[in-house]
Amino acid sequence: MKVGILGSGMVGNTLTEGFKKHGYEVQQGSRDKFSSISEWADLVVLAVKGSAAKSALELAGANNLKGKTVIDATNPISDDPPQDGVLNFFTDMNLSLMETLQDSAPDADFVKAFSCVGSAFMVNPEFDAGKPTMFLCGNNDSAKSNVSEVLDKFGWETEDMGTAKAARAIEPLCMLWCIPGFKDNQWSHAFKLLKK
C-alpha cells in the first residue's frame, strides 16, 4: 500500500517513519506537494495543523482523494493559549472538524485516528498496562477496517466509535490528554478503554 502523508511537522514525520518501519511505501510533503502525493497514494494521512486542514484538502484535490481512505489526525486547536491547562478549540461540541472536512471532500472516506495521543506514542507505544486504545470513527466501514489494520501494526487496540459524528467526542480527548502536560509537565500517557 502506498501511503501519502500531508504535513511535514512532528506528527507527519512520526507517522512517516512509522509507516516506513512497517514496510509501507511512503511519500511525505508540505503544501506544494499535496496534490502529487494524494494522486499517487492509496491511503492519505492528513497531519497538518487543524486550522490548515481544509486548505490542505483543497491543495490535495478532491479528485485525487476520491474513493480513498483519509486518516484524519488533526485537532481543531485554536491559537488562544490554554486556560488552566485546557486547550481552546475553534469548533463547538455539535460539529467536529472531521465532519467539516468530510463535507468538503465528500467522495473521500475519512477516518479519525491518532488524534488522542501525543506524537511520541503514535507508533508502537509501550506501557506497563499493555496496549493503549485508539478511538476511531468514520462513515465507511471498509475505510475503518483499513485503518484498524494499520493500528494493529502500530501496536494499538482499536475501538470503532461509529460514524463521523463520533469525532465530536474523540477530538476533545486531545484536550484531556494535554491537561497533565500543561499542568504537571507529564506527557507520557495514553487512554485505555476497559471492558467487562
For 112-166, what is each residue's pLDDT tens digit? Answer: 999 999 999 999 999 999 999 999 999 999 999 999 999 999 999 999 999 999 9
Phi-psi region of 107 (alpha: psi -120 to 50; beta: other; left: phi over 0): alpha
CATH of the domain at 105: 3.40.50.720
- Residue 193: inside a domain: no
- Residue 8: inside a domain: yes
Place of cell 509537565: 185
With bands split at pLDDT 50, 70 and 90, how would you rate the model's confidence at 37?
Answer: very high
3-state secondary structure 11-73: HHHHHHHHHHHCCCEEEEECHHHHHHHHHHCCEEEECCCHHHHHHHHHHHCHHHHCCCEEEEC
In this prediction, residue 48 carries a pLDDT of 98
In this prediction, residue 1 carries a pLDDT of 93
- Residue 50: inside a domain: yes
Q: Which residues pair with 159 in a beta bridge?
A: 135
Question: What residue numbers bound the domain in which 47 lies?
Answer: 2-184
Whole-model pTM: value is: 0.97
- Residue 106: inside a domain: yes
- Residue 196: inside a domain: no
- Residue 138: inside a domain: yes
- Residue 114: inside a domain: yes
For 74-93, what is each residue's pLDDT tens digit? Answer: 999 999 999 999 999 999 99
- Residue 130: inside a domain: yes
With bands split at pLDDT 50, 70 and 90, how would you rate the model's confidence at 108?
Answer: very high
In this prediction, residue 115 carries a pLDDT of 97
CB 154 within 8 A of CB 18: yes
